[in-house]
Amino acid sequence: LAKTTQPISMDSYEGQEVNITCSHNNIATNDYITWYQQFPSQGPRFIIQGYKTKVTNEVASLFIPADRKSSTLSLPRVSLSDTAVYYCLVGYYQKVTFGIGTKLQVIP
């Protein structure tokens, strides 16, 4: 199983773009990369998923280089409500591996 490494915490001011990078050197051919957001005492919520190159939705963008050994979640113009823990998840759907998560603190 691919192990993931993310920064433990990040601070950002409101309105800024935030980029969170996840390393997954041992990613397998079939593995997808998925990011989740978690607020305190709630279950994680799906944000975005990709296999290669770039994926964008209404919430975020996900950048995956050709070697797929890392990925970057990009949150445009964050607000206070984006304060949460963000998990990078790598794995085929049966047995997934969560990273420890990145605690993002958005500052007014």
Q: Give the separation between CA 20 and CA 75, rounded to whole angstroms.
A: 8
- Tell me: does residue 95 bind another protein (CB under 8 A): yes
Is 33 a binding residue for another protein by CB under 8 A? The answer is: no
DSSP letter at 107? E
- Provide the token pair at 80: 């206070």
Residue 30 in contact with another protein, rule: CB under 8 A: yes
Does 10 engage in binding with another protein (CB under 8 A)? no
Long-range contacts of 81-84 (CB under 8 A, 24+ apart): 81/106, 82/18, 82/106, 84/37, 84/38, 84/39
Residues 49-88: x where in contact with another protein by CB under 8 A, - otherwise, as a string? x-x-----------------------------------x-
Residue 30, phi then psi, degrees to nearest 5: -85, -5
Is residue 29 close enough to count as binding another protein by CB under 8 A?
no
Binding site for another protein (CB under 8 A): 30, 32, 34, 36, 41-46, 49, 51, 87, 92-101
